[in-house]
């Protein structure tokens, strides 16, 4: 199919801009205010079964893996089910123990990524229960799964994923809320998360309004040969995804590290020529994150913070609107999509079709 750029210069820019509507779509018709939960029609998992899940293992590649990491965090905090994410490409080659009490979730924009599909088929062969969190309706992974949640991001044309990442993480928030309300999440907390979810489209709109300022910052940092991205717990997958975005379209080398790991090695790299992008949410880890900024500053490292309030130790801060702590990761990555975009643009890169990459990797 051929798609229209709708007045944008690139599909990436169009897709970044579409996010308020895209998130609205993933929420639409699913929220149940009466019971402070969400309905997920295609899940195919009854409450009795849902209560027997002992673990959740999320599998995906690239950006979908990063969305899965945030998803695992959401499931652990809202549903209190131990959850983790792993690259599907790795999982498949290590003869994993397939446990009947584990629920497996395959994540994919295209629904056609070979590594993910092969992992799903291997799991099903071993009798596991596999759900899909997929964008393309009727795709191979969606068909192979026992049920799942459609992400409803709409067609994503740019090789690098933006709106689908945001929608996938939001879909995980819905799933986590749904599982949480079947288990121990209170009505009050359910309401709190629902209110947070409803705020997302307008908050994304607000972030997008800051594009001119983000463009200016991208031009400030565009000369760097390499960049460090740091975050802690919820912020770490945001850092991973932002660094992948920058690598893919600008070809600037970027590394992502948990902020807590800096002192165990990567601090040796810090000097004025290696800027750091730091994810600094206003949550219970704020002071810890500020301490990391201080350590970087003490080594004369430049810092661009993404935070809920201006950070004194940072050279620049992109301020994003605050949501519930659990939902903040959905918002904090969005300015960094624009940051990667404007960095690549300043460098004259072919943004929609970065070298060496394909939209869906349907081969081994
Ligand atoms: C995203 O920007 C990438 N180009 C890539 O990592 C992608 O997310 C990965 O190949 C998985 O694709 P999928 O979501 O279609 O399965």
Ligand 1 centroid distance, CA of 335 (Å)? 19
Say how far apart CA 340 and CA 237 lie, in whole Å: 16
**Residues whose CB falls within 8 Å of the CB of residue 192, separated by 6 or more in sequence, listed in order:** 324
Say how far apart CA 254 and CA 275 lie, in whole Å: 10
**Banded model confidence at residue 98, pLDDT cuts 50, 70, 90:** very high
pLDDT at res. 159 = 86
pLDDT at res. 165 = 98
Say how far apart CA 210 and CA 335 lie, in whole Å: 8
- CB of 138 closer than 8 Å to CB of 42: no
Interval 306-334 mean pLDDT: 98
- CB of 276 closer than 8 Å to CB of 270: yes
Measured from CB, residues less than 6 Å from any atom of ligand 1 are 61-64, 108-110, 113, 116, 159-161, 248, 357, 360-361
Complex ipTM value:
0.98
- CB of 210 closer than 8 Å to CB of 320: no
- Of 346, 345, 363, 357, nearest to 9 by C-alpha is 345
Ligand 1 centroid distance, CA of 64 (Å)? 6
**Residue whose CA is closest, atom 4 of ligand 1?**
160
Site to probe by mutation for ligand 1, drawn from 59, 70, 87, 113 as the one with most ligand atoms within 8 Å of Cβ, is 113
Ligand 1 centroid distance, CA of 292 (Å)? 31
Interval 142-157 mean pLDDT: 96
Q: Is 246 helix (H, G, I), strand (E, B) or coil?
A: helix
Say how far apart CA 48 and CA 51 lie, in whole Å: 5
Residue 363 has pLDDT above 80, yes or no: no
Ligand 1 centroid distance, CA of 109 (Å)? 7
Q: How many CB atoms lie within 10 A of CB 163?
A: 30
| Cα–Cα distance list, 122 to 18, 63, 65, 111 (Å) | 36, 22, 18, 16
Q: What values do phi and psi take at 119, rounded to 5? A: -65, -40
| Cα–Cα distance list, 115 to 109, 121, 160, 354 (Å) | 13, 10, 18, 21
Residue 354 has pLDDT above 90, yes or no: no
Residue 84 has pLDDT above 90, yes or no: yes
Condensed to tens digits (0 to 9), the pLDDT of residues 26-47 reads 999 999 999 999 999 999 999 9
- CB of 181 closer than 8 Å to CB of 35: yes
Site to probe by mutation for ligand 1, drawn from 58, 62, 153 as the one with most ligand atoms within 8 Å of Cβ, is 62
Site to probe by mutation for ligand 1, drawn from 12, 60, 109, 244 as the one with most ligand atoms within 8 Å of Cβ, is 109
Tokens 């049920």 — which residue? Answer: 147
Helices 62-79 + 235-250 axis angle, to 10: 170
Pull the structure tokens for residue 190: 């359910």
Q: What is the dihedral of CA 90, 227, 336, 252, to 10 degrees?
A: -80
**Residue whose CA is closest, atom 2 of ligand 1?**
160
**Residue whose CA is closest, atom 7 of ligand 1?**
62
Pull the structure tokens for residue 57: 């293992």
Fill in the DSSP letter of residue 325. Answer: G
- CB of 181 closer than 8 Å to CB of 32: no
Nearest-atom index, ligand 1, CA of 161: 2
**Banded model confidence at residue 120, pLDDT cuts 50, 70, 90:** very high
- CB of 230 closer than 8 Å to CB of 270: no
Q: How many CB atoms lie within 10 A of CB 313?
A: 19
| Parallel/antiparallel/unpaired status of strands 37-38 and 31-32 | antiparallel
192 by Cβ neighbours in 10 Å (0-12 / 13-18 / 19+) ranks as middle
Ligand 1 centroid distance, CA of 24 (Å)? 22
Pull the structure tokens for residue 231: 């975050």
Nearest-atom index, ligand 1, CA of 164: 14
Ligand 1 centroid distance, CA of 223 (Å)? 27
- Of 139, 155, 159, 137, nearest to 2 by C-alpha is 155
Residue 1 has pLDDT above 70, yes or no: no
Fill in the DSSP letter of residue 258. Answer: E
Interval 267-284 mean pLDDT: 95
Residue 2 has pLDDT above 80, yes or no: no
Instruction: Supply the residues annotated as catalytic.
Output: 359
Condensed to tens digits (0 to 9), the pLDDT of residues 167-198 reads 999 999 999 999 999 999 999 999 999 999 99
Q: Is 33 helix (H, G, I), strand (E, B) or coil?
A: coil
Nearest-atom index, ligand 1, CA of 360: 15
- CB of 231 closer than 8 Å to CB of 358: no
């Amino acid at each position: 199919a051929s798609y229209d750029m709708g007045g944008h210069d690139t599909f990436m820019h169009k897709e970044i801009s579409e996010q308020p509507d895209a998130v609205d779509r993933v929420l639409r018709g699913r929220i149940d205010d009466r019971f402070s939960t969400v309905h997920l029609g295609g899940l195919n998992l009854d409450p009795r079964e849902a209560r027997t899940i002992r673990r959740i293992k999320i599998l995906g590649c690239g950006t979908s893996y990063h969305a899965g990491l945030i998803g695992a965090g959401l499931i652990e905090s809202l549903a209190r089910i131990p959850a983790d994410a792993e690259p599907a490409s790795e999982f498949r080659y290590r003869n994993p123990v397939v446990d009947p009490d584990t629920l497996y979730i395959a994540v994919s924009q295209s629904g056609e990524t070979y590594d993910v599909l092969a992992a799903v088929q291997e799991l099903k062969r071993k009798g596991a229960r596999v759900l899909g969190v997929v964008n393309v309706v009727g795709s191979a992974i969606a068909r192979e799964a026992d049920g799942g949640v459609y992400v409803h991001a709409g067609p994503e044309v740019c090789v690098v994923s933006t709106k689908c990442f945001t929608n996938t993480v939001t879909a995980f928030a819905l799933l986590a809320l749904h599982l949480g309300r079947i288990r121990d999440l209170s009505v009050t907390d359910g309401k709190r998360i629902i209110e947070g979810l409803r705020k997302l489209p307008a908050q994304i709109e607000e972030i997008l309004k800051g594009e001119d300022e983000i463009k200016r910052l991208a031009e400030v940092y565009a000369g760097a040969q390499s960049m460090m991205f740091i975050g802690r717990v919820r912020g770490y997958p945001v850092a991973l995804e932002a660094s992948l975005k920058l690598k893919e379209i600008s070809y600037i080398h970027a590394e992502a590290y948990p902020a807590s790991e800096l002192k165990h090695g990567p601090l040796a790299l810090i000097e004025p020529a290696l800027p750091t992008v730091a994810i600094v949410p206003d949550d219970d880890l704020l002071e810890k994150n500020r301490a990391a900024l201080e350590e970087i500053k003490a080594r004369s490292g430049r810092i661009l913070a993404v935070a809920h309030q201006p950070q004194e130790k940072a050279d620049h801060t992109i301020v994003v609107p605050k949501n519930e702590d659990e939902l903040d990761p959905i918002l904090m990555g969005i300015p960094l999509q624009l940051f990667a975009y404007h960095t690549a643009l300043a460098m004259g890169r072919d943004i929609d079709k970065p070298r060496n990459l394909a939209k869906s990797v349907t081969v081994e």
